Structure 1
């Protein structure tokens, strides 16, 4: 159970789910399952409690593959190909 702040921080609302960016793939799957359990007509509060959004309006974005990408290591002195 997650507590969402509403009405510019003056009220709390309970919701099923974890919301946030930069989640691991396992956490993203768990989040999608929680949003499906909540139903498409569930209203989420966003932007410091000043705006609302329906669960069905959340866009589904796929994560691009990182295979073949290069990352820098050792304070920027070497690279590794994933």
Structure 2
């Protein structure tokens, strides 16, 4: 998961995973060095990202979800969705 430390949608995404007790790894793009940022951008583009980066950027297996989308996360993680 690639996120921004100051982005409310990135914080909501991390909270979603924590609330569901789903282990995840993340990197706050804005808090890492320039070389790590380059690696993140390269990975995002390789995974189908556009020339405009968007956060949060969540990889679940081979699937990518860009933006805060709990329904998509739940579907990919095979969780019960309760509205």
Where relative contact order (Cα < 8 A, 6+ residues apart) is larger, the structure is: 2
Q: Which has the higher strand share?
A: 1
Q: Does TM, scored on the shorter chain, surpass 0.5? A: no
TM-score (ref. length: structure 2): 0.32
Please say which structure displays the higher CA radius of gyration: 1
TM-score (ref. length: structure 1): 0.33
Q: Which has the higher helix share?
A: 2
